[in-house]
Amino acid sequence: MIEVSIYSRSNCHLCEVALAVLEEIRNELDFQITKILIDGKPELEEKYGEQVPVILINGQPHDFFRVDPERFRFAISKL
C-alpha cells in the first residue's frame, strides 16, 4: 500500500485544501493518507513549520504548500 503523509497545522487553510485534493485523488488511486499535526512538536515545527502542508509519498518529500493533482498522479503511477 502506498502511504501518503501530510504534515499539517491546526486551522491551516492550505492544509485543508491539500487534504481535500488528496482525498479526491484517493477515489481514483489506491493509497493511504496519514495526517500528522506538527503543533506543539518542536522537532516537527522546526523541520516543517514554514512549509506546511508538506506531502510525503512513502516517506519521500513530494510537495509543500499545494498539491498539484497531475504531478501527484504521475508520482503515484511510478510506484
Domain ranges of the chain: 8-56+64-77
pLDDT in tens, 32-79: 999 999 999 999 999 998 899 999 999 999 999 999 999 999 999 999
Q: Which amino acid is at 50?
A: E
Residue 16 pLDDT > 90: yes
Note whether 15 and 8 are within 8 A (CB). Answer: yes
Question: For the structural domain made of 8-56+64-77, what CATH number should be given?
Answer: 3.40.30.10
SS3 content of the chain, % helix, strand, coil (to 5): 40, 30, 35
Which three cell numbers mark 30? 489506491
Round to whole Å and give the CA distance between 24 and 36: 19
Q: Is the pTM of this model over 0.95?
A: no
Q: What is the structure's pLDDT at 50?
A: 87
